[in-house]
């Protein structure tokens, strides 16, 4: 691995200008015909401006946000611990989440009096669902939400971008399962959805599970599939002469095959970070074993500034432009006349009010129609109930009439029975008296 080249004045100036002005203040030097270039006859002192900006930037600190996308258990947390040489407190994620969850964790790191506000966003449950069709949507929504928050802060009347905690994702580390064959459909779909919103660096996790020959073929296969599917990954910049050579060589090593471990293993007389196996030790920082050192150099020591600038100047600007175009803003009129923000606002407000009134009228008409339909249904129900009531009433009257007739018949039968009973009793008593009289006559 080549040593990291020293910072040039151009890099220092670019770094300070980007951080202090929050990537939105632009200093432009006019090169028109009315501008003259003069030579100084003595020292003035404005060449100390880069030093002043560096001092101010170091005082304010920096922010860096990393999105780790990969399946559960692939080694995302371990690699983050190894990358920053510390131990982040992470909860073990299960494989039983119904959907993908984004879990951001914020940390403050300090190195040589430089403060870094680090945010690590983990995709919990990614790839664990049976239906993986929309696994990328929570990730895209989260990235867009951070852009939206920054845009809202930028458009405020009273804004404070200098003290605003930037949560936009600067880099997406996409962890690829070391199958040794090809990318999964989920990987291709997700990276395709993310490449216009975030800088993507694909890495092969747990590279010690694949042999060197298979690993090299796997890298070639991955890059071929990414190109054939139109996936744009982050390329290390080669426009700066100080880092052009090292970045160009590192672009040929993508995707990086990495191994993560925070454990120290003794090799000879020194302790190194690695993984102990029955057959030997895999050293994390040994470039013949894995690409971890290359990833750390490219991600943190060489191109962290470019990642932040790309996030602001490319991905955020694309989101911002699309949002403003949706609202109706544009740079010039059709006849290339200067664009009036006030007129656009008034016209858009008038259009919005017209759409609102139209929707309100539609809702009112829909409500009236719904009320009429409900009234008609209620009236129909009322008629049905009335008809049913009349039917029951007639049936009740008929049943009552029948019962009256049956009652009268029963009363007549009772009267007839009583008359017969009285006649029978009279006859029986008469016959009894006649029999007793005959008995007396016989005795006499």
- pLDDT at residue 31 in the model: 43
Cα gap 22→316, rounded to integer Å: 13
- In a domain? residue 200: yes
Cα gap 426→87, rounded to integer Å: 122
Q: Cα 357 vs. chain centroid, distance in angstroms?
A: 33
What is the DSSP secondary structure assignment for residue 332, as one 8-state letter? Answer: B
- Write out the two tokens for 194: 């993310």
- In a domain? residue 1: no
- pLDDT at residue 140 in the model: 95
Cα gap 73→325, rounded to integer Å: 42
- In a domain? residue 25: no
Q: Say if residue 198 is in the same domain as residue 219.
A: yes
The CB-side HSE value for 91 (13 A sphere, CA atoms) comes to: 10
- In a domain? residue 283: yes
- pLDDT at residue 29 in the model: 38
Q: Is the pTM of this model over 0.85?
A: no
Cα gap 175→258, rounded to integer Å: 10
Q: Say if residue 157 is in the same domain as residue 202.
A: yes
- In a domain? residue 245: yes
Residue 139 contacts residue 194 (beta carbons within 8 Å): yes
Which range marks the domain in which residue 344 is found? 339-416
Domain harbouring 255, CATH code: 3.40.50.300
Helix (H) or strand (E) run with residue 190 in it: helix 185-194
- DSSP-based three-state secondary structure for 350: helix
The side-by-side arrangement of strands in the sheet containing 270-277 is 264-267, 270-277, 280-283
- pLDDT at residue 333 in the model: 57
What total number of domains does the chain contain? 2
How many residues are recorded in the chain?
444
At 111, phi and psi to the nearest 5? -145, 120
- In a domain? residue 40: no
Q: Over its length of 444 residues, how does the chain's per-residue pLDDT go in tens digits?
A: 444 444 444 444 444 444 444 333 333 334 445 678 888 888 888 888 888 888 888 888 889 999 999 988 888 989 999 999 888 876 666 667 788 899 999 999 998 888 899 999 999 889 887 778 888 999 999 999 999 999 988 888 888 777 788 899 999 999 999 987 888 999 999 999 999 999 999 999 998 888 889 999 999 999 999 999 999 999 999 988 888 899 999 998 889 999 988 888 888 888 888 888 888 888 888 888 899 999 999 999 899 999 999 999 999 999 999 888 887 777 665 556 666 667 777 777 888 898 899 999 999 999 999 999 999 999 999 999 999 999 999 999 999 999 999 999 999 999 999 999 888 888 888 887 887 777 777 776
Pairing mode, if any, of strands 200-204 and 114-124? unpaired
Domain boundary among 327, 351, 386: 327
Q: Cα 435 vs. chain centroid, distance in angstroms?
A: 117
Q: Is the dihedral of CA 230, 231, 234, 236 positive or negative?
A: negative
- pLDDT at residue 332 in the model: 62
Cα gap 119→64, rounded to integer Å: 6
């Amino acid at each position: 691995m080549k040593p990291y080249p020293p910072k040039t004045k151009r890099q220092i100036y670019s770094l300070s200008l980007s951080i202090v002005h929050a990537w939105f203040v632009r200093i432009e030097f006019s090169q028109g015909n009315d501008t003259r270039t003069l030579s100084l006859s003595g020292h003035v002192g404005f060449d100390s401006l880069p030093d002043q900006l560096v001092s101010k930037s170091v005082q304010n600190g920096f922010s860096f946000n990393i999105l780790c996308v990969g399946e559960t258990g692939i080694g995302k947390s371990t690699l983050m611990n190894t990358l920053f040489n510390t131990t982040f407190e992470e909860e073990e994620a299960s494989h039983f989440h119904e959907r993908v969850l984004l879990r951001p964790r914020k940390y403050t790191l300090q190195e040589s009096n430089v403060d870094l506000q680090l945010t690590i966003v983990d995709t919990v449950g990614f790839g664990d669902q049976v239906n993986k069709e929309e696994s990328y949507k929570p990730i895209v929504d989260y990235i867009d939400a951070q852009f939206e928050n920054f845009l809202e802060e930028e458009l405020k009347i009273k804004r404070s971008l200098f003290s605003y905690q930037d949560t936009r994702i600067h880099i997406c580390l996409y962890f690829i399962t070391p199958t040794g064959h090809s990318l999964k459909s989920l990987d291709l779909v997700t990276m395709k959805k993310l490449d216009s919103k975030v800088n993507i660096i694909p890495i092969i996790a747990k590279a010690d599970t694949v042999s060197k020959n298979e690993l090299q073929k796997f890298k070639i296969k991955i890059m071929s599939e990414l190109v054939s599917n139109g996936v744009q990954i982050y390329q290390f910049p080669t426009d700066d002469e100080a880092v052009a050579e090292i970045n160009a060589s590192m672009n040929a090593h993508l995707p990086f095959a990495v191994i993560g471990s925070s454990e120290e293993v003794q090799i000879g007389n020194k302790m190194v970070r690695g993984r102990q196996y029955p057959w030997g030790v895999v050293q994390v920082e040994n470039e013949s074993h894995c690409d971890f050192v290359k990833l750390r150099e490219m991600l943190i020591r060489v191109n962290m500034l470019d990642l932040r600038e790309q996030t602001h100047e490319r991905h955020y600007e694309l989101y911002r432009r699309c949002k403003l175009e949706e609202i109706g803003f544009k740079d010039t009129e059709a006849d290339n006349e200067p664009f009036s923000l006030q007129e656009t606002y008034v016209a858009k407000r008038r259009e919005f009010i017209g759409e609102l009134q139209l929707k309100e009228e539609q809702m009112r008409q829909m409500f009236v129609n719904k009320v009429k339909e409900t009234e008609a249904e209620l009236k129909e129900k009322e008629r049905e109930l009335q008809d049913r009531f009349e039917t029951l009433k007639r049936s009740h009257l008929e049943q009552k009439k029948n019962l009256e007739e049956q009652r009268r018949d029963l009363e007549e039968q009772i009267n007839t029975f009583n008359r017969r009973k009285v006649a029978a009793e009279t006859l029986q008593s008469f016959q009894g008296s006649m029999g007793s009289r005959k008995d007396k006559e016989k005795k006499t």
